[in-house]
Amino acid sequence: MRKDSATLNKRASSKAGSRSKAEPASAQQMQNYLAKLPASQRTQLLKLRDAIHSAAPEAVESFGYGMPAFALDGKNFIWFGAWKNHISFYPISEATRRALTHEVAGYDTSGKGTIRFRSDENLPASLIAKLVKARIAELP
């Protein structure tokens, strides 16, 4: 019997630690997630996804916490999602935010490791690559 995404997300959410166990993403899961979005946000998320793939070609697409994610060694390390007025990229650490202060200065960030890109602006592929590589360097 195939588990539905709500069951998988609940299971992923219950994992302890900063990296949840990765649930492999199916093409259908990604299509379902993207289908719910306006065209502009869908385009932005696809660009973000491509930038992550370029920066971490060894990473595997997955889902966690109800969002698209990327995993290394079977554990999620990056999540991303679309919201009403922005695209979010999770997580970035305080150390990474400090190291890239000048580059993230124009973006909304939170203390919990989120950087938000406005839906109506171009995504900064070079910044995303730096964030992905910095996140990989932080992994245990």
CATH numbers and ranges of domains, the chain:
5-10+19-138 (3.90.1150.200)
What's the pLDDT at 85?
87
What's the pLDDT at 92?
82
Give the residues across from 62 on adjacent strands: 24, 69
What's the pLDDT at 68?
92
With a cut of 70, list the residues of the chain below it in pLDDT: 1-25
Task: Output b/e per residue, 100-137; b: 16+ Cβ within 10 A.
Answer: beeebeebeeeeebbbbbebeeebbeebbebbbebbbe
In whole angstroms, how far apart are CA 31 and each of 70, 75, 116, 128? 16, 22, 22, 22
